[in-house]
Amino acid sequence: MTAPAMPVPLTSAAGADRSRTGTTSAMEQVVWDDPSRRQRAEAVELGRVLLRRIGAEGFIVALETDERFKRAIALWGIEFPLNIRWYTTAIPAQERALRWSRRISLALGVVTLAGTTALVFLNQAVTTAQVGVLAAGIFGVMQILAAGSDPKSRLGGFRKARADLKEAMFTFQENWRGRSIILAGSEAKPEPEPEFMTALYQEIRSGRKIAREERDTYFATFKSATEILGVANTAIEAVRGRRAEVSGALKEASAAETTHAAAMAARIQDLRNKLADAIALKDALQDKKRRLEEANADPKVIGEVQTKIDDAETDRFRTQRSLDLAVKSDVAHSI
DSSP character string of 189-222: S--B-HHHHHHHHHHHHHHHHHHHHHHHHHHHTS
pLDDT at 334 over 80: no
Q: Is residue 305 part of a domain?
A: yes
The model's pTM is 0.54
For residues 159 and 197, membership in a common domain is answered with yes
Predicted local distance difference test score (pLDDT) of residue 174: 92
Which is more confidently placed, 127 or 276? 276
Report which DSSP code applies to 298. Answer: -
For residues 158 and 43, membership in a common domain is answered with yes
Backbone angle region of 15, left / alpha / beta, with phi > 0 → left and psi within -120 to 50 → alpha: left
What is the number of domains present in the chain? 2
Q: Which of 120-124, 217-221, 272-276, 283-287 has the lowest mean pLDDT?
A: 120-124
Q: What is the mean pLDDT of the chain?
A: 74
For residues 209 and 143, membership in a common domain is answered with yes
Q: Is residue 27 part of a domain?
A: no
Residues, the chain: 335
Backbone angle region of 193, left / alpha / beta, with phi > 0 → left and psi within -120 to 50 → alpha: beta
Q: State the DSSP H helix or E strand holding residue 309, giving kind and residue range, or none if neither.
A: helix 299-334
CB-CB contact of 96 with 1 (8 Å): yes
By residue range, what is the domain housing residue 95?
37-223
pLDDT in tens, 8-64: 444 333 333 433 344 456 666 555 555 444 577 888 888 889 989 988 888 888 888
pLDDT in tens, 40-55: 788 888 888 998 998 8
SS3 label, residue 182: strand
What residue type is 26 in one-letter code?
A
Q: What does the alpha-carbon distance between residue 202 and residue 204 come to, in Å, rounded to a whole number?
A: 5
Picking from 185, 205, 223, the residue at the C-terminal end of a domain is: 223
Which is more confidently placed, 229 or 325? 325
Q: Is residue 155 part of a domain?
A: yes
For residues 212 and 284, membership in a common domain is answered with no
Give percent of the chain with pLDDT exceeding 90: 18
Predicted local distance difference test score (pLDDT) of residue 1: 41
pLDDT in tens, 160-218: 999 999 999 999 999 999 888 887 766 677 788 899 999 999 999 999 999 999 988 88
For residues 212 and 274, membership in a common domain is answered with no
Q: What does the alpha-carbon distance between residue 220 and residue 214 come to, in Å, rounded to a whole number?
A: 10
For residues 165 and 266, membership in a common domain is answered with no
For residues 70 and 135, membership in a common domain is answered with yes
pLDDT at 248 over 90: no
Q: Is residue 318 part of a domain?
A: yes
For residues 109 and 256, membership in a common domain is answered with no
Predicted local distance difference test score (pLDDT) of residue 306: 85
Number of Cβ within a 10 Å radius of residue 146: 16
Predicted local distance difference test score (pLDDT) of residue 158: 92
